[in-house]
Structure 1
Amino acid sequence: MTETLSDSRLTPQPPHSIEAEQAVLGGLMLANDAFDGVAALVGEKDFFSLDHQLIFKTMHSLAVSDQPLDVITLSESLKESQSLDQIGGDSYLVELTRNTPSAANILAYAQIVLERATVRKLIAAANDIVEKSYNPLGWDSSKLLAEAEQRLMEVMEDRPKQGGFQHVTDLLRQAIDRIEELFNSDADITGLSTGFGDLDEMTSGWQQADLVIVAGRPSMGKTSFAMNMVEHAMLHQDQPVLVFSLEMPANQLIIRLLSSMGKIDQSKVRSGNLNPDDFTRLSGAAARLKDRPLFIDDTPGISPLELRNRIRQLAREHGTPAMVMVDYLQLMSASTPGDGRVQEISQISRELKIIAREFDCPLIALSQLSRNLEQRPNKRPINSDLRESGAIEQDADVVVFIYRDEIYNEDTPDKGMAEIIIGKQRNGPIGTTRLAFLGKYTRFENLARDYFSDAN
């Protein structure tokens, strides 16, 4: 049945540009060497016309076989697949070459094809969400929102990836500029300071785009250690510092932070049994904390997809984060369900690394350790103790373990001391530094420089 004007208004055709598609296909027949650049932008399904999809698919097969792309080779290939008549015969192939405004502008035409294809995918995703919203099949709004985020992210990730080969000359220039910048800098470290001198000396601070795993058995002080680094970053940076607290509510985390910063016994803060000196310390800590660029999200079970979206939204409003901290990795949900928890943890770890690179900031992710280490005489952690997935060690740029001997040995001479073990550092040494642990303040601090000389 012929479509009426009123029908077309009710169901408008998705966005497309037949002219741009024709210009791309005709341009490729006139400039074969442009194929790789075009193929990096668009694929067969990005063409709206089914005939154009078939022609581009045939071009791709010829290009892979190192065959020329012209009217004759395309015609022969389409004949072999009995598709020549379907696309309009030889006359249409000739018409394509004649309708190309300029083969020199072929990438611009391909960009138009890509933009229209992306909008069509967005429309399809939106229509799918609308359909599921009208027929939820038991899904609540949270599940629908998660599905909407996932579909939109798929559209975004389906676009061509940025990057590609860089010539060594350009890379050398960038490297030399960076080395000169470091040489002329007064700073002793090249990354984001942890606030702990010996650790900074060993790592040069947390580097941009690094995934840093901080792991330890329960009660070792993972959250305290990470929050001490958060404190240092937000007091010394104007960029946002983001905390995703999946285990502890935000208000409890702030109380712990105030206790740590003010050096007030945490049990007194929790009970409200404070003396005037405690109130003075509490007020001082609150004054230092107020208006600093610290943001805490305590959504339980957040997925990497949701985490990325929230970072992106905050970055638009407040700027690129200086650091992101996640407490802790095993409490996250997978963006898409996997075949078992090990696979899901691997997926989460990989996505966190991608997020660190996307926002070009260190991402600190806390992690549990396998309880199997409790069976060893020496309970200091090693990389293989990372729980549930070897992918965590593989994806991490730095792996940090916290070990406090007093947890296992009451008579240890190292009470009040923590070992910070660097189990992996992609671009630096591994080894151990030591910090003081002030348990009642849930706080780690640098040891006095003469600590070891006095001990010896």
Structure 2
Amino acid sequence: QHFPVAIFSLEMPASQLVKRMMVSETGIDSKKLKGGVKLTPEDWKRLESKLKDLASAPIYIDDTPSLPVMEFRSKVKRLVKQKGVKLILVDYLQLMQGPSELRGMREQEVAAISRTLKATAKEHNVPIIALSQLSRQAVTRQTSNNRPQLSDLRESGSIEQDADMVLFIHRLDYQGLAGEDVQQGETKLIIAKHRNGEIGDVDLVFKASEARFVDGREEETVNSFASEASVREYQSKMNDISADNFLQDDGLGTF
């Protein structure tokens, strides 16, 4: 519905993030977009159309590295007031800086960051989706499916406590744990915590060349139809902003 969205990309430069959005929106294989020479006339038409949509989309990107959490809070206040932002994304929480007095006490620092995100969301009545790293134990755990757990949230138990929902993206093929009955890209979206609802799993499929996830039920329907039609080929459908596009006061940009 074209709600304004703000993305705080602490790990990835804004230019790379926009390129991934281009891949996801156009459905054009990412390998094609890297060079451009292999694009067909149909690809160019689709690219032009989707770029116009992205250019007019109310998406604001801040890629300030090591963003202090209180500076984040100030920027969110301006974004909500001036731009009407309805959703905040943070990638990722552990790359933020907490209060200076807590530097060197990592668990307490991450806990303070988590609390500030929670308070900011409540203050401005806007949802905040914050990505988080998992502990090394989540990868090395020797279990049949190696499902991530709430205790795997890295560096602080406060993340689990403060969050209204905790979701894990679990890909067996990515971790090299897939068996013969697991298809390429098969993914479980694990709802591990839901303060106001039920927990459970959602089936997804990761389309690497399009850098996106799709509904696993829809993918099953497509694959079934392709099989019946004797189609043997499987296709997996799965970054530069000029300085002029950025607001001079806070480094936020739209494209």
Pairwise TM-score range, normalised by the shorter structure: 0.7 to 0.9
Among 96, 100, 115, the residue aligned to 1:336: 100
**Match of 1:421?**
190
- Are 2:130 and 1:362 aligned? no
Alignment-mate amino acid for residue 393 of structure 1? E
Q: More helix per residue: 1 or 2? A: 1
Larger relative contact order (Cα-Cα within 8 Å, sequence gap ≥ 6): 2
SS in structure 1 of the partner of residue 100 of structure 2: coil
Paired with 1:293 and 1:449, the residues of 2 have a C-alpha distance of 29
Percent sequence identity over aligned pairs: 42
Paired with 2:219 and 2:178, the residues of 1 have a C-alpha distance of 25
Contact 1:400 1:424 in 2 (8 A): yes
Contact 2:203 2:217 in 1 (8 A): no
Alignment-mate amino acid for residue 88 of structure 2? V
- Are 2:102 and 1:346 aligned? no
**Match of 2:233?**
none
Paired with 1:355 and 1:367, the residues of 2 have a C-alpha distance of 17
Deviations 1:67-111 (A, max 9, x none): xxxxxxxxxxxxxxxxxxxxxxxxxxxxxxxxxxxxxxxxxxxxx
Paired with 1:399 and 1:273, the residues of 2 have a C-alpha distance of 42
**Larger Rg computed on CA atoms:** 1
Contact 1:302 1:332 in 2 (8 A): yes
Alignment-mate amino acid for residue 371 of structure 1? R
Q: More strand per residue: 1 or 2? A: 2
TM-score, with structure 1 as normaliser: 0.45
Alignment-mate amino acid for residue 110 of structure 2? I
RMSD: 1.8
SS in structure 1 of the partner of residue 67 of structure 2: coil
* Alpha-carbon shift at residue 348 of structure 1 (Å): 0.3
TM-score, with structure 2 as normaliser: 0.80
* Alpha-carbon shift at residue 410 of structure 1 (Å): 5.1
Contact 1:386 1:393 in 2 (8 A): yes
Paired with 2:65 and 2:36, the residues of 1 have a C-alpha distance of 27
Write the mapping of 1:88-237 to structure 2, written as runs, cut at 5 A.
236-237=1-2
Contact 2:9 2:62 in 1 (8 A): yes
**Match of 2:154?**
387
Among 6, 9, 21, the residue aligned to 1:257: 21
SS in structure 2 of the partner of residue 367 of structure 1: coil
Paired with 1:251 and 1:434, the residues of 2 have a C-alpha distance of 31
What residue ranges of structure 2 are gaps of 5+ in the alignment? 225-255
* Alpha-carbon shift at residue 264 of structure 1 (Å): 1.3
Alignment-mate amino acid for residue 268 of structure 1? K
Alignment-mate amino acid for residue 177 of structure 2? N
Contact 1:246 1:332 in 2 (8 A): yes
**Match of 1:376?**
142
Write the mapping of 1:38-117 to structure 2, written as runs, cut at 5 A.
none
Among 75, 91, 95, the residue aligned to 1:310: 75
* Alpha-carbon shift at residue 448 of structure 1 (Å): 3.3
Deviations 1:251-277 (A, max 9, x none): 110010011110111122223334123
Alignment-mate amino acid for residue 347 of structure 1? A
Aligned length in residues: 216
* Alpha-carbon shift at residue 449 of structure 1 (Å): 5.0
Among 262, 269, 287, the residue aligned to 2:33: 269
- Are 2:200 and 1:431 aligned? yes
Paired with 2:193 and 2:208, the residues of 1 have a C-alpha distance of 27
Contact 1:259 1:282 in 2 (8 A): no
**Match of 2:58?**
293
**Match of 2:86?**
322
Runs (4 or more) in structure 1 with deviation over 6 Å come to: none
SS in structure 2 of the partner of residue 406 of structure 1: coil
What residue ranges of structure 1 are gaps of 5+ in the alignment? 1-235
Paired with 2:31 and 2:219, the residues of 1 have a C-alpha distance of 31
Paired with 2:147 and 2:37, the residues of 1 have a C-alpha distance of 37
User: How has the CA–CA distance of structure 1 residues 273 and 342 changed in structure 2, closer, same or farther, with 3 Å as cutoff?
Assistant: farther
Paired with 1:406 and 1:251, the residues of 2 have a C-alpha distance of 29
SS in structure 2 of the partner of residue 325 of structure 1: strand
Alignment-mate amino acid for residue 446 of structure 1? D
**Match of 2:234?**
none
- Are 2:174 and 1:409 aligned? no
Contact 2:205 2:219 in 1 (8 A): no
Paired with 1:273 and 1:308, the residues of 2 have a C-alpha distance of 43
SS in structure 1 of the partner of residue 196 of structure 2: coil
- Are 2:53 and 1:282 aligned? no
* Alpha-carbon shift at residue 237 of structure 1 (Å): 3.0
SS in structure 2 of the partner of residue 337 of structure 1: helix
